[in-house]
Amino acid sequence: MKDNNKTYTFKELNKKSDTNMSIKQSFQIATSEYVKWIKNPKITLIFMMLIFIYDMFVSKMISASSELNTNICFFEPFIAVCNSIILILVIPAMYLGIMGDFPRVDGNSMFYLLRTGKINWIAGQIIFSIMTAITYMFFVFIGITAPAVFKCEYRNSWSDVTTKYIKYFPEKSENIVAKLIDGRLYNNILPLKAVIMTFTLMVLYMVLINMILMVGFTIGKHSVGIVVSAALICISCASVEFNTGLKWFLPTANVLPWQHYDEIYKKQIFNMSYSYTYFIILIIVLSILSSILIDNYDFSKISDMED
C-alpha cells in the first residue's frame, strides 16, 4: 500500500464515502471481529489466570468452608476475587494482554473502512469491545464459581466464611480468607446485588481500556495506548492501596463496590451512580475523540501490520 513516502489518510480517501450510521453494518463489523477474537490463541491466557486464581484464592475459600463445616454463597468466590486489591490489578492487566492489538487491522482494513464508513467502523469496534469485555468477565465468573459449585449454597445471603471466619479462628486474622471480602461490602449489600454491580463495573472498566487502545491506534501510536492503559491500571490500584485523594479520579476505586461505603456507618461515602457515570462519560469522550482522530490516520502504515 505504500507509494514511496505518500500517505493515505482516511480524510483524503473518504471524500465520497457514505458515512451514514447503519446498525446492521456496525453489528456485522463487531461480529466479524468477535469471531476472529474468540479463535485467537491469546484466549488461553484466561485459563492460565484462572488456575492461578483458584490456587491462590478460591481453594482457600473452599478449605475455610470445610473448617467451618458450612457452605459458601454461590456468588462469594467471584465477589471475593473481583474485590481483591491484588486481583483487581491482575484481571484488567490480563485483559490488556489479550486485547493489546485492538483494533486489529490488516492490509484490507482501509478498503473495509471506506466501504462501511467511519461512523459504522468506530461503532462496530465499540460494540466488539463490549462483546469481548462481557465474554471475558463471563469466563472469569464461570472459571471462579465452577470449582466451588459443590461447596456452595444458592442463597442471597453471606456465608459464615465471609462474616464469621475471624470470630471462630481469631488466630487466623491474617489469613487471606479473612481479607477477601471487606466488611464494608457484606455489611451494606447482599451478594446478588454485589455480583451484579461488580460484573457491570468490571465490564465498563474493560471497555474503557479498549477505548484508550483505540485512541492510541488513531494517533498512529498503538504502543502509547498500551503504556497508558498499563500505567492507569497500576497507578489506580496504588491509589486505593494507599487511600489517596485522587482514587476517585481513577478506575480501581470506582470499580470496587466496598470502596463506596463508610468503614463504620452503613452509608455510602461515594454514590455508586457516580462510578457508572464516570466510566460511561470517559468511554463516550474517548469514542468521540477516536472518531475525530481516525480522519488523519495514515493507512500506508497498515502494510507493516498485515498478516
**Per-domain residue ranges for the chain?**
22-296
- Please give the grid coordinates belonging to residue 94: 490480563
* Confidence check: pLDDT of 194 > 80: yes
Q: Residue 22 burial (CB < 10 Å; 0-12/13-18/19+)? A: middle
Rounded CA-CA distance 253/186 in Å is: 17
**Tally of helices (H runs) and strands (E runs) in the chain:** 16, 2
Q: Residue 259 burial (CB < 10 Å; 0-12/13-18/19+)? A: buried
- Greater pLDDT, 17 or 192: 192
* Confidence check: pLDDT of 36 > 80: yes
- What is the overall mean pLDDT for the chain? 85
pLDDT band at 181, cuts 50/70/90?
A: confident
Rounded CA-CA distance 254/231 in Å is: 17
Q: What is the pLDDT of residues 234-246, one digit of tens each?
A: 999 999 999 888 9
The pLDDT assigned to 2 comes to: 44
List C-alpha distances in Å: 242 to 37, 47, 246, 302, 304. Answer: 36, 31, 10, 42, 43
The pLDDT assigned to 304 comes to: 45
Q: What is the pLDDT of residues 69-122, one digit of tens each?
A: 888 899 999 999 999 888 899 999 999 999 988 887 766 666 666 677 777 888
* Confidence check: pLDDT of 205 > 50: yes
pLDDT band at 49, cuts 50/70/90?
A: very high
- Greater pLDDT, 286 or 57: 286
Are the C-beta atoms of 291 and 121 separated by less than 8 Å?
A: no
- Greater pLDDT, 133 or 24: 133
* pTM (predicted TM-score): 0.88
- Please give the grid coordinates belonging to residue 84: 481483591
Q: What is the pLDDT of residues 152-165, one digit of tens each?
A: 888 899 988 888 88
Q: What is the pLDDT of residues 245-299, one digit of tens each?
A: 899 999 999 999 999 998 888 889 999 999 999 999 999 999 999 888 887 766 6
How much of the chain, in percent, has pLDDT values that exceed 70? 86
Q: In the 8-state DSSP scheme, what is residue 147?
A: G
The pLDDT assigned to 206 comes to: 96
* Confidence check: pLDDT of 7 > 60: no
How much of the chain, in percent, has pLDDT values that exceed 90? 47
In sequence order, what are the beta bridge partners of 72? 152
